[in-house]
Chain A
Amino acid sequence: MPRTGRQKSLRRVNDPPLLILTSLADGPKHGYALAQDIGEFAGVQLSPGALYGAIARLEERGLIEALPEVERRRPYRLTAAGSAELAEAMRDMRRVVDVGTHRLGLLQGRLA
């Protein structure tokens, strides 16, 4: 069956703050490096407005912080609060994944 856009979107996690926190989990990055990394691991191309809007909100909440400029670009890194929030988000998502996997496994077992 051909895939529609709607079906595709079901498989994507495209929440900018979550993607940014996840990207920063392995070290500081500046805006462009963030966008590239997110594109690679999530297949999501964040628009400039969405990326910097989310960066501003996350920094406002103290979940990420800016570091001194490197080659005129300002890298951002996770704070302790940001790590904790990301860990919480991952636990939530894991619960959903576990339930989905478990139920799908049961369903496939019955069908087989």
Chain B
Amino acid sequence: MTNSSPQHRRALKWYPRTWRDRYGADFELFLQDRYGEESLPMSAQLSMARSGTVERLRSGGIVGSTVDPETQVRGASLLVLCAWGVFIVAGLAFAKYTEHWSLATPRIDHWLPSAAMRAVQVAATAGILIVIVAALISLPALVELVRSDGWSELWPLMRPVVVSVTVAGAVSIGIVAWNDHLGPATDTPTGLRIAGVLAGLVVIGALVVTCGTLIAIVYRLRFSPRVTRILGLLAVVMVATLVVIFAGAVTWWISTALHAPWFFGSLVPQSPATPAPLAMIVLCLMMLSGLVLAGIGAVRITLMRSHAGGTAKPSRPRGSTRRSAGSLALRQQMKEGT
């Protein structure tokens, strides 16, 4: 063992366990040689944070092609799951923002936005069903994990989820109760608005914690190749539902902006209002970022499946070189990880 400072050991936590097992001791000595007892400069800490994150993504099969194909499919599926999490946040905000829209717009202009809204709702329901099916398929592996590792091993992982979800639930109930107590005729007080924003942040935090824990648990599960393939397929179908949700939301926005722009303003028919409200821009950007994540996941799953019918080999096995591509290819490939 090395006598490195606690700061060096903390910085190493950015890296995945397998990487630390392989390079950790050597890396700590390097830090000791270079920086001694001095604290790590910010640039070194940032470089380790970046490099460690890349190593985590690589070892999780989310980027690169050095881990086994099943881990890559699993990582890509989890990327889609994260995208779904982003869509949940954006979708909840979209549902709240668009509530009562049909009352504020003339009936004659309802067809297209209604159809778009229905498409969003159907796709969102399909997305929930896909997650439930994926959870059911993963259940035997989870039971096996609990049996082999014991609940005491999993509880430290689950504890932050239980705490954050409980807090988020309590805060949400409190906000709803406060809102109901005021009644529909009262203007929303500033305190409630601020509390609403804070509650939203708490809910988002709980979702992030839950997603992170799910990812950590899923990496511990032992799936058969068949289950991994099914999960990959479900992830690709999920991406299709996310595309429908995004397309539906944008269609609703455009058609409402064309026919009833006052919905985005004072709700008074024919009153002036911007057709591009900040809330819709933010929501659509969130969905778009989720789609990018999901798209990367879907492409990786499809590529892995197209390699020898879903049992692909890592594209660059250890020791191989691509001489024909020359050193430029080497530099480009290396940059991916550095």
Are A50 and B51 closer than 8 Å at their CB atoms? Answer: yes
Q: How far is the CA of A89 from the CA of B51 in the complex (A)?
A: 24
Partner of A61, one of B43, B54, B318, B335: B318
Are A47 and B27 closer than 8 Å at their CB atoms? Answer: no
User: What is the interface residue range for chain A against chain B?
Assistant: 35 or more
Are A47 and B44 closer than 8 Å at their CB atoms? Answer: yes
User: What is the interface residue range for chain B against chain A?
Assistant: 35 or more
Across-interface contacts of A60 in B (CB, < 8 A): 66, 318
Are B338 and A50 closer than 8 Å at their CB atoms? Answer: yes
Partner of B29, one of A16, A17, A31, A50: A31
Q: How far is the CA of A7 from the CA of B330 in the complex (A)?
A: 25
Across-interface contacts of B186 in A (CB, < 8 A): none
**Does any Cβ of B come within 8 Å of A57's Cβ?**
yes
Label chain B's interface by main secondary structure.
helix
Q: How far is the CA of A32 from the CA of B27 in the complex (A)?
A: 9
Which of the 9-residue segments B18-26, B78-86, B134-142, B190-198 touches chain A?
A: B18-26
Q: How far is the CA of A91 from the CA of B48 in the complex (A)?
A: 32
Are A16 and B338 closer than 8 Å at their CB atoms? Answer: yes
Q: List 19 A-B contacts (CB under 8 A).
A: A15-B331, A15-B335, A16-B334, A30-B26, A31-B26, A31-B27, A31-B33, A32-B34, A48-B31, A50-B51, A53-B51, A53-B338, A54-B337, A54-B338, A62-B318, A84-B323, A85-B321, A89-B330, A89-B331
Binding site for B on A (CB under 8 A): 15-18, 30-32, 35, 47-58, 60-63, 72-74, 79, 81, 84-86, 88-93
